[in-house]
A and B are shown apart, each in its own frame.
Chain A
Amino acid sequence: MADRIQRALDGELPIDTLTPTEREALQRHRAIIGIALEPIRGLPVIDVAPAVMRRVAPRPGVVHRARLAVAAGAAARWLWAPRALTLRPAYAMAGALAFAAVLSIANVRSAPSAPAVATAPAARARVLVQFRLGDAQAHDVALVGDFNGWHARHRLHQVDPGVWSVDVALEPGVYHYVFVVDGKAWRLDPLAPRVTDGFGGASSRVSVLAPEARS
């Protein structure tokens, strides 16, 4: 009988083929399974998705740098690869004449001017940006983002009870960041735009304008 009960439990044997005694045994068997599994079915429901997604999501800055590196590598390979060129001599001669003409015109135009002076590009002015977070429970708040390689180099100071602040000098640009509370909890800036990373994670965004653009 045990084998038939087992097959009925596995769905291999239709219940209506069982004898009344076998059906009673099947019911008892199901009750045994239910009792044995009761502690497991009473376990709490968990959700590790936010924690997992934070750990596997690429940092926005890292993604941008990786894409730039790939593009730069492709360009370098294209420039460096040897190629065979075919050229009609008549076209080459015409091209050389055109180049010489452009050069002579440029010389004539630049003659009266003063000697060229090499000038270094002006350093981009940095803008002091203040980041603030209100959290009365926090003991330690750090700021991580594109501007510090997502390392907790910038610590916020408690300027008032529960009010954390830090000033960071940033060049004009767009940056993604989050606050790290007590070394583990990632917090978005409630006052800044939220940016999702496509993996269920998110960060805050700040746009720093050049001083002249803001006037």
Chain B
Amino acid sequence: MTDLLHGDFAALVRSHQNALYRYGRGLGLDHDTALDLVQEAFIKAHERRDQCRDGANARAWLFRIYRNAMLDWARNVRRTEVSLLDVEEPPHDDDFAERHALREAIGAALASLSPLLREAFLLRHELGHSYEEIAALSDVTVSAAKMRVARAHAALRETLDPDYGNVTSAGGRSS
């Protein structure tokens, strides 16, 4: 890994920067903040490059650094409308402005998910992480990671396809 970083750190940045950026935007960061945190994450990665001995784990290692950078940022600025990963539940309905901003940023369907479910869903379906990788990044068990993704699916079904439940096992739909 040290050789990779010294020899072609720019290639590492270019390989992973857009995945990190989409991860941050999907969790509710605005463009500028997501961009700044991607830069900060890579600079930290360069400073700590000796900590990553295995090049194959570079992606997981970079996601961990970026996730920590996002959490630090959220703690420092106390941006409750982003809520990131600190809060299990989505913002309250009476917090209309925050809710509206988040929906505008990432789309209504994703915004309707709680942060932890949204993170698991993004990692699985947008960024192609395995359940094991999601579990390691989120500090939960693999079964908990699977559960989060399944709950995200169920919630999205209710939002986007309310007729889904009417599909019967006989092949038709109940009226």
Write the residues of chain A forming the contact surface with B, with a CB cutoff of 8 angstroms: 1-2, 6, 9-10, 19-21, 24-25, 28-29, 31-33, 35-41, 43-49, 51-53, 55-56, 199-200
Contact with A along B125-154 (1 / 0, CB 8 A): 110000100000000000000000010011
Q: Within the complex, what minimum Cβ distance (angstroms) separates B89 from chain A?
A: 19
C-alpha spacing A24/B26, complex, angstroms? 28
- Main SS class of interface, B: helix
- B168 with A21: CB separation less than 8 A: yes
Nearest CB to that of A35 among chain B residues? B160
- Determine the chain A residues whose CB is within 8 A of the CB of B35 once the complex forms: 46, 48
Chain B, interface residues (CB within 8 Å), range: 35 or more
Stretch of B9-17, B50-58, B91-99 on the interface side: B9-17
Q: Which residues of B contact A (CB under 8 A)?
A: 9-10, 13-14, 17-18, 21-22, 25-26, 31, 35, 38-39, 42-43, 46, 106-107, 109-110, 121-122, 125-126, 131, 150, 153-154, 156-157, 160-161, 164, 167-171
Known contacts A20-B171, A52-B39, A200-B9; A43 and B17 CB within 8 A of each other: no
Q: Is the interface of A mostly helix, strand, loop or mixed?
A: helix
In angstroms, how far is the closest chain B Cβ from the Cβ of A58?
A: 11
Q: Report whether A40 and B153 are in contact in the complex, using a CB–CB cutoff of 8 Å.
A: no
- B9 contacts across to A, CB distance below 8 A: 53, 56, 199-200
Which residue of the partner chain, among B10, B17, B42, B110, contacts A36 with CB atoms under 8 Å? B110
Q: Are B171 and A49 in contact (CB under 8 A)?
A: no
Residues on B with beta carbons closer than 8 Å to the beta carbon of A51: 39
Q: Residues of B contacting A10 with CB < 8 Å?
A: 131
Contact partners of A53 in chain B: CB under 8 A: 9-10, 13
Residues B169 and A39 in contact, CB atoms below 8 Å apart: no
Whether A52 pairs with B167 at a CB distance below 8 angstroms is no
